[in-house]
Each structure stands twice: as structure tokens, then as C-alpha cells.
Chains A and B, each alone.
Chain A
Amino acid sequence: MPIRRRTVLTAAAGLAIARPVWAARPEPAVLTPDVIDAAKKEGKIAWYTADDLVLATRVSKAFEAKYGMTVQLERSGAERIYQRIAQEYSSNISAVDVATTSDLGHTVSWNASGWLESFLPSEAANWTDKAIGPDGIYIVDKFTLVISGYNSRLVKAEDAPKSWHDLLDPKWKGKLAKAHPGYSGAITNETYALSHLLGWEFYENLAKQGVLQVQSATDPPMRVAQGERAVMADAAEVTVLRLIGEGAPLVPVYPTEGVPVVGVGSVLMKKSPRPNAARLFMHYLASSECQKVNMENGSRSFDTTLAEPASWTPLSSIKLLFNDPADLAREAEEIKKRYSKIFGV
């Protein structure tokens, strides 16, 4: 089985590289009243998403309120969603309309399987190249960072870690919470970026710190906010910022070596059982209205018309680490395997 996936992906990655530079974006699709009407007739949209649960719930509610349709929200880790869609498609079940993943590597293999519809909503037409998939197979309708951070009730600012390497200090033994790449797409991004930047020794030493191993990248902020652990060995920035907005005693740390960027991409499934509703939802995801909801809940946006809250650390002051989706697709499985060996689960 691994062989099958690997060969497909390698082929896909090869294609991606061979892709001529000018195979740019498709013609942007404009939202017409016809699409809205047809979507309303379909009545419902099934959205599988790796977004933070609270954020995804708020986006769904806003969409439902605007169009009077139902969103069937399936929130899980990106890797679980990837597994679920593969499992459903191999059993001839097409339930999902739009999928949102925090591991853009997934879009490479989905595209290689012919599951994706090229679709560029006009709302995203002016976004930067990083935000649009090759041939419009996905839009990065939000992005977040994998950061560290701490509970300000348990750690003084001057003692707090400043870098990834600071996490290896013996004083943090038994005080770290960490998410898992076998579950979380954000953490797959991080593990890829940091294992290349710092080497696997970093993770081997981190494993000796006795981390509280949780699954989703949204979980460490919650455990640390609860005071179960003092420091997040990794966390999705979106959840940290959202919780801070709600009054949680969290302080984000942007490690000096570099911070992995997690592009959160949404795709339109070719076999979507409600194609009009799916298109309408893609339009909505890219709309400034939805981007605002995202931002209010801690997510960063490619929509340049929106200004980030002043309290956020500006991107310009952070060293960002970008991953190529093709690299992620190629190495994800090996990364997860190696991680499991090192951390024991």
C-alpha cells in the first residue's frame, strides 16, 4: 500500500515540477444569482475541515445565516480527514463537497487521483501566487503559523523559551504539551520544516523531555491554558490568538530559528454531490466577509484589504518557513513514521 501511494505521489510531484510556469490561474469564476439559486435548491453543503473547531463553527453559522442553507461540518485533524476521504471514495461514497486541509501535500495526491475541480472564485483573484494552487486546484483561504508559547500564570516572561532549542532546556522536562503529525496537518508542516532546519536530533531530544502528547495542533494551547502543562512545544497560532482574545493566560512565542507557515487550503471535490452549493461555499470562503470572521478568530489572511489586529505580532518581524506542497506530499509518510518511532506513539 505505501508503495502505491508513493509512486502516485512521486509521479505527481514530477508533474508539478514539470508544470510550465505559465500554466497559471484559471479564469476566475464570478458568483451569479443562478449559482446561488441552484445552491439553495441543493440546500446543504458537506464541509470536511481541519480548521479550529470554534472557527469552523462560526464560519458555518455565518454561511447558514447568509444563505439559509445547512452546513454539515465535519471537523477533524487534516490527516484524519485525508484518511476519511480516501476511505469513503474507495467505498464509492461521495459525501464531501468542500474539503479544507492544513497539509497542502494532500492536494497533490488528491489532484493526482483526479478528485479535484479547478476553481478560482473571483473573490480570490487578486490574492498572491502562494494562495492559489497550480491550475486553481485549491485556494489558501487562510494560513496560520506553528508557534510555541506559554501560560503566563506558570512561567515568567524572562524565563520563557525564545527559540525551539530553548524547549530542550531540562527545566521544561514534564512541562511541555505537543501535538502529533499523524493527526495534524499543521504539525506535519512543522515536522517537515524543523527536521530539515534543525535535524531530527531536535525531536530525539524533545522526546526525552516527557511531553504530554496530544493529537490536534489546537489542543496544546487548550491544555496549556488549563495549566496542565506550562509550555506549548508546538501549537496552531490561530487557536492561541483566539484563546487570548477570550482571556486565556497565553503568550505566543515566535521561535527565532524560524516559524513554519501552514497554508490551509480549500478544495472543490469533482464528485461533490452538491456542485452548486460547493461552488457557493468556495465563493463564501474567499469573500472578505468570511476572511473577517477568520481573522476575528485568530487566523491570518491573504486578503490584503483587511488589516490585522494591532495586538498581533506582524508577519514582517517573524522569520517564516514556507513548505512546498509537493515536498510535503513526498515526505509526509516517512515523517510520521519516524516521529512515531521517536515519540513511541
Chain B
Amino acid sequence: MSISESADTSLSLTETNPVRLGRFDLSLIPLGFAGLFLAFLVLLPLGWLLAFSVTDETGALSWANFAELGDPSLFLQPFITTLGIALGVATLACVVAVPLAWLVARTDVPGRRTLRGLVMISFITPPFIGAVAWVLLAAPNSGLLNQYYRWIAGAGPFDHLFNIFTAEGIIFVMGSYAFPYVFVLTANTLDRMPYDLEEASAILGGGRWHTFRRVTLPMVLPALLAGFLIAFLQAMTQFGTPAILALPAGFHVLTTKIWSLFQFPPKSHLAAACAMPLLLVTILLLRGEKFLLGRRGYTMIGGKTGAPQLTRLGLWRWPALLAALFVLFATVLLPNMVLIRASMLRTVSDPWNLSTITWSNVPLVFTLSHTVDTLRNTLITGVTSATLGAAFSVLIAYLTARRAVPGHRFLGFLATAPAAVPGIVLGVALFIAYTRPPFQLYGTLWILLLAFLTIEMPPAYQQMQAAFRGLNPELEDASRILGAGRLKSLISVVAPLLKSSVAATWCFIFIGAIRELSATILLTTSDTKLVSVLIYDLNEGGQLGGIAVLGLVLMAVTAVVVIAANRLANVGTMAPGR
């Protein structure tokens, strides 16, 4: 409340102060450029996408692409499958994540920090690696779990308990990698939620259930809804998992279908038309969330309240802990364990003993002459896009939070707009936009950099905007009164204060770039291949052991970089950030 008021004051000062008005702040120029760049980043590819969807090969205006969508096997079947899977994933993610978040944030269940840490491991696991791990675990015949089942139940050679090559299998795997998002959102909300309101309800005679229903739930609802939405969108737009699991099962989802349209000869116009409904659904969902939440005030105002009193579970603590551990074991530990196991076997279904253990997968992966190159490419694009993206989102968040340039509202819109563009759609759009003059970037790492910047801009911007909201503008005002320009005060005053938020944003973008496959797969060439694509290639050749090695290396590198980034951000900080 006080924050937004003072922001208004500073704005009105600027407008009424004649001296200020006359003096042109030179730092507006780079800031203005940042705004222009953002517009370019988002509008150019989307413009091309739209243009391609309504033209034919000769460039003439045509609705034929959309007419072709009437072919059920081309569009309708994959589309319906996609929506069904996404709904399943979002529901599963919420069902798993919400009780877990409540346990960790609001109860006295033992080992809460460890539980949180375990969830974070699945953040750094790219979903396509998880999908391969689940092939190793739950393929109907060679899957380890099914082997154990046959051994225990004494069942016949082709009996199985699980079959990962099914829609249910896909929902399970995607759910395993989507639930952390719901978990983090819900747990953070529960952490921050002032306990007074619940206490007040209790004092006024509300029972536990009543308080939960009328007070706690409404306050968590936005986070829950946002989490559901993120899980839904992720499942709808993911490429790697369905490519690894749905194609063997003999069906397409929309992303794999769009990908197949790029088989030679590439049908970019048809792909653009296919992408439009995906874009439309995403926009509708995002608007829908706004509509549902926008009418009520959900802001949790209030000064510092005491730490929330934890619900005492009593003896139930132990079953609760066991349940939480089981969930995390199944979704996080088990897949990683099976990757380690497979990385050391020549044939991944072999039993694990001294005679079958081999290091041959390691040389296989590393004698592929481009493995080292792809690792380097991945690191270069990851670090560069994280650095540029973090810097850029600081700038844009600053411009919009402090209303520093005319049209700041539009900037905010542009920065969040890519959230409505699924990776594969963006891949199509960037491919169209940057394979022709004036910007021939296909075949360079630049196009990947642009892709990652665009894809990661909305979450990065939102994180930074939230950080700015918590920062009183008085400090910057002081710096500016003392003669610093906007850019200078941004660099020397704001940036240090926001260090830990910037580091978090940096890591977020970095991890996002490592996990990305759907846009990447369309944009890499042999010279600009990334590890994610190399893993996909190895999967097409059935090299599961090699994938395990590469996946573990990728995750280890990611973990090291993320830890280093956090260490670096906290150097010189007296009190570590939140």
C-alpha cells in the first residue's frame, strides 16, 4: 500500500517539477532501446507466424491451411489427446503437490527442509530425461519395476503391472515433473500467509474445517489455480516426453504432430496454422485465470505477523512423513537411481552385477565428437541467456515498476506475452522469422539465445517485478536527487539490493534453457546442437545407456552452475537473502 503510494508521488513530482521536465535524462536512451528490443523479440516472430498461417507456399492469401485442420488425424485427434493429457497432468500435479506443500509449510512433520530439497532435484531434471528414466523403469517388458513384479508374483514372461507407453503413463511422467511448480507456488503462499486471519477465525468460533474452508482455502486458491494452470500449459506444450512415450505407443499429441510437419519437405505454413489453436487455448486460459481471480482481492495485506503456528500432527507425523517420502521417492529418487544404474550397463535390462557393469557408455558418449561441443554450446547459451535475461528483466521490471518511460504498461504486456506462446510454436515462429533476410540467424547460437530469452522472459520479469514491488523507491530517489541518472541508480543502488532475487532469476532462466527441447529441436543445426537435442537423437537410435550418462552429466553440471551462481550472489552480502 505505502509502496504504490510513494511510486505515485514520485511520478507526480516528475510531472510537476519544471526543472525535471526540461532536463532530459540520457539514461532513458538505453532504457528505451531495451523496450524496443523487447517489442522486436516478441512481435517479429509472432507476426511471421500469423502471416504464414494465412498464406500458401507462393505467399498468396489463403485459408487452405486452416481448412486442412479439418482432417481429424492431422489436427483434431492430437488436439483432443493433448487437452485430455494436460487436464490429467494438472489434476495429478495438484493432488500430489497441495497436501505435500501443506505438510511441509504448515505442519510439524519431521525433515521439512529435506523434503523441500528433494522437490528441488526434480526442478533441475529435464523432463525428457525423466521420460527416458521411466522407460527404463516401467516399459511393459524390460522395465525394472515389471521385472521385479514378475519375479515377486511369479507371473509369465509378458505379464506386466505398468505400461509407460500409454496416455496414463505419459500423464504420470509429466505430472512427476510438473508438480514441483504447484508445490513451490502453494508452499510459498502458505509460508507467507499471515496466521492472524486463521487465528481470528478460530477465536470467533470457527472450527478447524470451517477455518480451512472459509479462510485458508480462499487464500491459497490463487496459487493453486496458478499452479494448475502452469501444469496444464506445461503438459500441453511439452515435446520431449510425448516424443519419447507417445510415438512408441502409436499416437500423436499436438506438439509431436507439429514437429512431424517439419519432416522434409517442411510444411511451415500448415505448422503455423496448427500452432494457432495452441496459442489461442493458452491465451484463453491465461485470461480465464485473470477473470476468475481478478474480481476479488486476494492480496494479503498486513504487517509482520508471527511465524504461523504449525498444526501438530501428533502420531500422524510418521505416516505423513512416510507418505511424503514415498511420493518423492517415486517421482524424484527412483528415476535418478535407475539412470545411474543404466549408465553402467551395456544392455539396460541386464541384472546389475560384476559381470554386466561396464564403463563403455561413457566412452561411447564422449567419443561422439560433438558431445563436448554440445555441452559447451549448452553452457554458452544457458549462461548467456541467463545473464542477458536477468539483466533485461531487471531493466524491464524497473521501467514498469517505476513507470519510467511512456508506454511502460505496453512493455509489461510484451514481457508477459510470450507466456502465451508454447515452445514449439515459438520454435516455428523463430524458424520462419530468422531463416530469411534481414535476420539470418538460423545455424548460429544467436537464434537459440533469442528463443531462450523470449521463452524465459515472462517468469523472469514476474519475479523481478515482485522484487521491485518490495523495494521502497525512496532509496533510488535519494540517489537521483544526488545527481545520478536512472541507469546509474539502477546499477549502483537497486541491483545490489536485489542481488538474491537477481540470482534466483538467473538460475531460473539457466535451468529453463537446459530443460528446453520443444523450440530447440527446430532451431539447432549440427554446429549448434545442444545436449537436449543430442539426448533426443540418442533416444531415436535406442541408446538408452548413453542417454543415462549424458543426462547425469547434464544434471550435475546444472547443479554445479546453480550452486555457484548462488554462492557468487551471496558473496559480500552480510545477511543472506531470503
Taken together as a complex, chains A and B put the C-alpha atoms of A341 and B250 apart, in Å, by 11
**B56 — nearest CB in chain A belongs to which residue?**
A1
Binds A, one of B263-271, B305-313, B479-487: B263-271
Query: How far is A212 from B158 in the complex, measured between Cα atoms in Å?
Result: 14
When A93-B525, A218-B542 are in contact, do A344 and B251 touch as well, CB less than 8 Å? yes
Closest chain-B Cβ to A283's Cβ sits at a distance in Å of 20
Q: Do A75 and B142 form a contact, CB below 8 Å, given A46-B526, A57-B364, A91-B442?
A: no
Q: Are B248 and A213 in contact (CB under 8 A)?
A: yes
B266 A219 Cβ-Cβ under 8 A: no
Interface centre among B264, B346, B543, by most chain A C-beta atoms within 10 angstroms, is: B264
CB-based nearest B residue for A82: B264
Query: Which residues of A from 198 to 243 have beta carbons under 8 Å from B?
Result: 210-216, 218-223, 225-230
- Closest Cβ of chain B to A314, distance in Å, is 28
With a cutoff of 8 Å between Cβ atoms, the chain A residues found around residue B298 in the complex are none
B435 touches A90 (CB 8 A): yes
Contacts of B347 in A (CB 8 A): 225-226, 248
A48 part of interface (Cβ distance < 8 Å): yes
Answer whether A79 and B264 are a contact pair too, CB < 8 Å, given A91-B442, A95-B526, A345-B247: yes
Shortest beta-carbon distance, A101 to chain B, in Å?
12
Q: Which A residues are in CB contact (< 8 Å) with B526?
A: 46, 48, 72, 74, 84, 95-96
Report the separation of the CA atoms of residues A92 and B263 in the bound assembly, to the nearest whole angstrom: 19
A341 to B72, CA, bound (A): 11
Using CB atoms, name the residue of chain B closest to A219.
B542
Distance of A179 from chain B, by nearest CB (Å)? 9
Residues from chain B with a CB closer than 8 A to the CB of A225 are 347
Q: Which residue in chain A gives the minimum CB-CB distance to B442?
A: A91
Cβ of B4 < 8 Å from any Cβ of A?
Answer: no
Q: Across the interface, which residues of B come within 8 angstroms of A46, CB to CB?
A: 526
> Is B474 an interface position by the 8 A CB rule?
no
CB contacts (< 8 Å) of A228 on chain B: these are 139-143, 349
Asked if B367 and A218 make an inter-chain contact with CB atoms under 8 angstroms apart, the answer reads: no
Within 8 A of A (CB), among B369-394: 369-370, 373
- Within residues 66 to 87 of chain A, which ones have a CB less than 8 A from any CB in chain B? 70-77, 79-80, 82-84, 86-87
Within 8 A of A (CB), among B41-65: 57
| CA–CA, A72 and B242, complex, Å | 29
- A183-B265 contact, Cβ under 8 Å, with A96-B526, A213-B250, A214-B248: no
Establish whether residues B141 and A73, one from each chain, have CB atoms under 8 Å apart when the complex forms: no
In the complex with contacts A1-B57, A57-B367, A215-B247 CB distance below 8 A: yes
A246 close to chain B: CB less than 8 A: yes
Q: Does B515 contact A (CB under 8 A)?
A: no
In B230-276, the 8 Å CB interface with A consists of: 246-252, 256, 260, 262-267
With an 8 Å Cβ cutoff, the count of chain B residues facing the other chain is: 49
Q: Which partner residue on chain B sits nearest A73 by CB separation?
A: B369
Closest chain B residue to A246, Cβ basis: B346
Known: A87-B266, A227-B141. A345 touches B537 (CB 8 A): no
Choose from B264, B364, B442 the contact partner of A93 (Cβ within 8 Å).
B442
Question: How many whole Å from B550's CB to the nearest CB in chain A?
Answer: 13
Q: A218-B541, A219-B541, A248-B347 are in contact. Are A83 and B264 (CB under 8 A)?
A: yes
B367 and A61 contacting across the interface, CB-CB below 8 Å: yes
Contact B260 A182 (CB under 8 A): yes
Determine whether the beta carbon of A226 is less than 8 Å from that of B142.
yes
CA distance A90 to B57 in the complex (A): 14
Least distance between A337 CB and chain B CB atoms (Å):
10
Chain A binding surface SS class: mixed
Assembly CA distance A53 to B368 (angstroms): 9
Q: Which residues of A contact B369 (CB under 8 A)?
A: 60, 64, 70-73
Q: Within the complex, which residue of A54, A77, A91 is in contact with B443, where a contact is CB–CB below 8 Å?
A: A91
Contacts of B543 in A (CB 8 A): 53, 222
Query: Is B440 an interface residue, CB under 8 A from the partner?
Result: yes
Give, as a whole number of angstroms, the nearest-CB distance from A95 to chain B.
Answer: 6
CB atoms of A92 and B440 under 8 A apart: yes
Q: Given A70-B369, A96-B526, A227-B349, A79–B263 Cβ distance below 8 Å? A: yes
Contact string against B for A residues 148-168, beta-carbon threshold 8 Å, 1 for contact and 0 otherwise? 000000100000000000000
* B contact residues around A216 at 8 Å (CB): 540-542
Is the CB of A169 closer than 8 A to any CB of chain B? Answer: no
Bound together, the chains give a CA A61 to CA B346 distance in angstroms of 20
Complex: A182 Cα to B196 Cα, angstroms? 62
In the assembled complex, which residues on chain A have CB atoms less than 8 Å from the CB atom of B14?
A: none
A245: Cβ under 8 A from any B Cβ: no
Chain B CB within 8 A of A175 CB: yes
CB of B349 within 8 A of CB of A226, answer yes
Choose among A48, A74, A92, A246 the residue with the greatest number of B CB atoms under 10 Å from its CB: A74
Nearest 6 pairs of A and B residues by beta carbon: A219-B542, A222-B542, A83-B264, A228-B142, A226-B349, A74-B526
A binding-site residues for B, Cβ under 8 Å: 1-2, 4-5, 46, 48, 52-54, 57, 60-61, 64, 70-77, 79-80, 82-84, 86-88, 90-93, 95-96, 154, 174-175, 182-183, 210-216, 218-223, 225-230, 246, 248, 336, 340-341, 343-345
A and B contact pairs by CB, cutoff 8 A, 22 listed: A1-B57, A48-B526, A53-B538, A57-B367, A60-B367, A72-B373, A83-B262, A93-B525, A95-B525, A95-B526, A96-B526, A222-B543, A226-B348, A227-B141, A228-B139, A228-B143, A229-B141, A341-B73, A345-B246, A345-B251, A345-B256, A345-B260
Please name 20 further chain A to chain B contacts, defined as beta carbons within 8 Å, in addition to the given A74-B526, A210-B250, A212-B248, sorted by A numbering. Answer: A72-B373, A72-B526, A73-B369, A79-B263, A82-B264, A87-B266, A88-B443, A95-B443, A182-B260, A213-B248, A214-B247, A215-B541, A216-B540, A216-B541, A219-B540, A223-B142, A246-B346, A343-B250, A344-B251, A345-B251
